[in-house]
Protein backbone atom coordinates (compact mmCIF):
# COMPACT_ATOMS: atom_id res chain seq x y z
CA UNK A 1 0.00 0.00 0.00
CA UNK A 2 2.06 3.01 1.26
CA UNK A 3 4.68 4.40 3.60
CA UNK A 4 3.38 6.55 6.43
CA UNK A 5 5.22 8.61 9.02
CA UNK A 6 3.55 8.39 12.40
CA UNK A 7 4.52 10.17 15.60
CA UNK A 8 4.31 9.81 19.35
CA UNK A 9 4.08 12.43 22.05
CA UNK A 10 3.89 12.11 25.85
CA UNK A 11 0.37 11.77 27.25
CA UNK A 12 0.57 15.05 29.18
CA UNK A 13 1.26 17.24 26.13
CA UNK A 14 -1.25 20.02 25.47
CA UNK A 15 -1.80 19.74 21.72
CA UNK A 16 -3.53 23.12 21.59
CA UNK A 17 -0.26 24.79 22.63
CA UNK A 18 1.54 23.08 19.72
CA UNK A 19 -1.01 23.91 17.03
CA UNK A 20 0.97 26.92 15.72
CA UNK A 21 4.09 24.77 15.24
CA UNK A 22 2.09 22.02 13.51
CA UNK A 23 0.54 24.61 11.17
CA UNK A 24 3.83 26.37 10.45
CA UNK A 25 5.36 23.09 9.25
CA UNK A 26 2.17 21.79 7.60
CA UNK A 27 1.86 18.83 9.98
CA UNK A 28 -1.45 17.13 10.69
CA UNK A 29 -0.88 15.26 13.95
CA UNK A 30 -4.22 13.49 13.63
CA UNK A 31 -4.73 10.88 16.39
CA UNK A 32 -4.58 7.20 15.45
CA UNK A 33 -6.00 4.40 17.56
CA UNK A 34 -3.90 1.32 16.77
CA UNK A 35 -3.97 -1.16 19.64
CA UNK A 36 -1.05 -3.15 18.22
CA UNK A 37 1.42 -0.25 18.17
CA UNK A 38 0.06 1.33 21.33
CA UNK A 39 0.77 -1.91 23.22
CA UNK A 40 4.47 -1.31 22.40
CA UNK A 41 4.50 2.33 23.56
CA UNK A 42 4.53 3.85 27.04
CA UNK A 43 1.17 3.71 28.80
CA UNK A 44 -1.00 6.59 27.60
CA UNK A 45 1.47 7.68 24.90
CA UNK A 46 -0.27 9.66 22.16
CA UNK A 47 0.00 8.28 18.61
CA UNK A 48 -0.54 10.35 15.45
CA UNK A 49 -0.42 10.47 11.68
CA UNK A 50 2.29 13.12 11.36
CA UNK A 51 1.89 14.70 7.93
CA UNK A 52 -0.97 16.08 5.88
CA UNK A 53 0.16 14.31 2.70
CA UNK A 54 -2.00 11.58 1.17
CA UNK A 55 0.82 9.16 2.02
CA UNK A 56 4.52 9.44 2.78
CA UNK A 57 5.91 7.31 -0.04
CA UNK A 58 7.92 10.29 -1.29
CA UNK A 59 9.32 11.28 2.11
CA UNK A 60 12.96 12.18 2.44
CA UNK A 61 13.07 10.48 5.86
CA UNK A 62 14.98 7.25 5.37
CA UNK A 63 15.29 7.88 1.63
CA UNK A 64 19.03 7.10 1.56
CA UNK A 65 18.47 3.82 3.32
CA UNK A 66 18.73 0.81 0.97
CA UNK A 67 15.98 -0.92 2.94
CA UNK A 68 13.47 1.65 1.69
CA UNK A 69 14.61 1.12 -1.89
CA UNK A 70 14.26 -2.63 -1.39
CA UNK A 71 10.78 -2.22 0.09
CA UNK A 72 9.67 0.06 -2.76
CA UNK A 73 10.76 -2.51 -5.32
CA UNK A 74 9.27 -5.39 -3.35
CA UNK A 75 5.90 -3.65 -3.41
CA UNK A 76 6.12 -2.55 -7.04
CA UNK A 77 3.87 -3.55 -9.92
CA UNK A 78 6.87 -5.28 -11.52
CA UNK A 79 7.24 -7.67 -8.56
CA UNK A 80 3.51 -8.38 -8.57
CA UNK A 81 3.88 -9.31 -12.24
CA UNK A 82 6.85 -11.56 -11.44
CA UNK A 83 4.82 -13.30 -8.74
CA UNK A 84 2.04 -13.95 -11.24
CA UNK A 85 4.70 -15.55 -13.44
CA UNK A 86 5.41 -17.89 -10.49
CA UNK A 87 8.80 -16.44 -9.51
CA UNK A 88 9.94 -17.66 -6.10
CA UNK A 89 10.72 -15.31 -3.20
CA UNK A 90 14.41 -16.16 -3.64
CA UNK A 91 14.33 -15.20 -7.33
CA UNK A 92 12.55 -11.95 -6.55
CA UNK A 93 15.03 -11.16 -3.77
CA UNK A 94 17.95 -11.78 -6.14
CA UNK A 95 16.33 -9.63 -8.88
CA UNK A 96 15.78 -6.72 -6.44
CA UNK A 97 19.34 -6.91 -5.09
CA UNK A 98 20.80 -6.97 -8.61
CA UNK A 99 18.64 -4.01 -9.62
CA UNK A 100 19.75 -2.01 -6.56
CA UNK A 101 23.38 -2.90 -7.18
CA UNK A 102 23.19 -1.81 -10.85
CA UNK A 103 21.42 1.39 -9.95
CA UNK A 104 23.86 2.44 -7.26
CA UNK A 105 21.80 5.53 -6.39
CA UNK A 106 18.59 6.22 -4.57
CA UNK A 107 15.40 6.54 -6.59
CA UNK A 108 14.66 9.71 -4.71
CA UNK A 109 17.09 11.46 -7.06
CA UNK A 110 14.60 10.85 -9.86
CA UNK A 111 11.80 12.55 -7.96
CA UNK A 112 13.58 15.40 -6.18
CA UNK A 113 16.58 17.54 -6.95
CA UNK A 114 19.39 17.69 -4.37
CA UNK A 115 18.20 21.20 -3.45
CA UNK A 116 14.64 19.95 -2.89
CA UNK A 117 15.95 17.09 -0.74
CA UNK A 118 17.98 19.58 1.32
CA UNK A 119 14.94 21.84 1.75
CA UNK A 120 12.68 18.99 2.86
CA UNK A 121 15.18 17.51 5.29
CA UNK A 122 15.90 20.97 6.73
CA UNK A 123 12.15 21.43 7.21
CA UNK A 124 11.98 18.20 9.23
CA UNK A 125 15.00 19.27 11.32
CA UNK A 126 13.49 22.71 11.93
CA UNK A 127 10.15 21.15 12.87
CA UNK A 128 11.71 18.79 15.40
CA UNK A 129 13.84 21.57 16.89
CA UNK A 130 10.88 23.98 17.11
CA UNK A 131 8.78 21.38 18.85
CA UNK A 132 11.49 20.49 21.36
CA UNK A 133 12.83 24.00 21.93
CA UNK A 134 9.49 25.35 23.15
CA UNK A 135 9.85 23.54 26.51
CA UNK A 136 6.33 22.11 26.25
CA UNK A 137 7.41 18.74 24.84
CA UNK A 138 9.79 16.33 26.57
CA UNK A 139 10.15 14.09 23.49
CA UNK A 140 8.72 13.34 20.07
CA UNK A 141 8.84 9.95 18.42
CA UNK A 142 8.84 9.29 14.67
CA UNK A 143 8.11 5.96 13.04
CA UNK A 144 8.26 5.08 9.35
CA UNK A 145 6.39 1.95 8.29
CA UNK A 146 5.17 0.35 5.07
CA UNK A 147 1.43 -0.21 5.58
CA UNK A 148 -0.44 -3.07 3.95
CA UNK A 149 -3.61 -2.30 5.91
CA UNK A 150 -5.26 0.75 7.44
CA UNK A 151 -3.34 2.84 9.95
CA UNK A 152 -5.70 1.68 12.70
CA UNK A 153 -5.40 -2.07 11.97
CA UNK A 154 -1.83 -2.53 10.71
CA UNK A 155 0.21 -4.91 12.86
CA UNK A 156 3.61 -3.35 13.44
CA UNK A 157 6.48 -4.86 15.38
CA UNK A 158 8.97 -2.24 16.48
CA UNK A 159 12.49 -3.51 15.90
CA UNK A 160 13.79 -1.12 18.56
CA UNK A 161 13.42 2.32 20.10
CA UNK A 162 16.29 4.78 19.70
CA UNK A 163 16.57 7.85 21.94
CA UNK A 164 18.53 10.69 20.39
CA UNK A 165 19.28 14.17 21.67
CA UNK A 166 18.09 16.72 19.10
CA UNK A 167 21.50 18.42 18.95
CA UNK A 168 23.01 15.13 17.68
CA UNK A 169 20.69 15.01 14.66
CA UNK A 170 22.04 15.75 11.20
CA UNK A 171 20.43 15.69 7.76
CA UNK A 172 22.32 12.45 7.06
CA UNK A 173 20.82 10.86 10.16
CA UNK A 174 17.27 11.67 9.02
CA UNK A 175 18.01 10.55 5.45
CA UNK A 176 19.04 7.15 6.84
CA UNK A 177 16.17 6.45 9.25
CA UNK A 178 15.22 2.80 9.29
CA UNK A 179 11.75 1.39 8.90
CA UNK A 180 9.97 0.10 12.02
CA UNK A 181 12.35 1.84 14.43
CA UNK A 182 10.78 4.33 16.82
CA UNK A 183 13.13 7.32 16.97
CA UNK A 184 12.54 9.38 20.10
CA UNK A 185 14.03 12.84 19.80
CA UNK A 186 14.85 14.55 23.09
CA UNK A 187 15.43 18.25 23.88
CA UNK A 188 18.88 19.57 24.84
CA UNK A 189 17.58 20.92 28.16
CA UNK A 190 16.51 18.87 31.17
CA UNK A 191 12.74 18.51 31.22
- Domain check: are 101 and 81 in the same one? yes
Whether this prediction's pTM lies above 0.75 is answered by: yes
CA distance 96 to 109: 18
Does residue 88 form part of some domain?
Answer: yes
Reply yes or no on whether the pLDDT at 54 is more than 60: yes
- Domain check: are 45 and 32 in the same one? yes
Does residue 22 form part of some domain?
Answer: yes
Q: Per residue in 6-26, pLDDT tens?
A: 999 999 999 999 999 999 999
- Domain check: are 129 and 44 in the same one? yes
> Which residues form the domain of 42?
2-62+121-186
- Domain check: are 7 and 56 in the same one? yes
- Domain check: are 82 and 150 in the same one? no
Q: How far is CA 129 from CA 62, 133, 141, 191, in A?
A: 18, 6, 13, 15
Does residue 114 form part of some domain?
Answer: no
In 3D space, the residue among 35, 28, 31, 36 whose CA is nearest the CA of residue 46 turns out to be 31
Does residue 48 form part of some domain?
Answer: yes
Task: Give the model's pLDDT for residue 103.
Answer: 57
Q: Per residue in 127-169, pLDDT tens?
A: 999 999 988 999 999 999 988 899 999 999 999 999 999 999 9
- Domain check: are 84 and 101 in the same one? yes
Query: Which DSSP string corresponds to 25-44?
Result: TTEEEEE---HHHHTTSPTT
- Domain check: are 182 and 92 in the same one? no
Task: Give the model's pLDDT for residue 106.
Answer: 43
Does residue 116 form part of some domain?
Answer: no
Does residue 111 form part of some domain?
Answer: no
Does residue 158 form part of some domain?
Answer: yes
Number of structural domains in the chain = 2
Q: Per residue in 66-125, pLDDT tens?
A: 666 677 777 888 888 988 999 888 888 888 777 776 655 444 434 678 888 899 999 999
CA distance 152 to 36: 9
Amino acid sequence: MCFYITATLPKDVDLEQLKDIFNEYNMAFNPIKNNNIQSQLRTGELYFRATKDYCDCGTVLGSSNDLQEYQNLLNSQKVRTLKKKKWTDEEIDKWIKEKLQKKGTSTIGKKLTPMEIDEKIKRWLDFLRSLLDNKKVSRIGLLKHWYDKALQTEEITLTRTEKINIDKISPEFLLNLEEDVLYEFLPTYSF
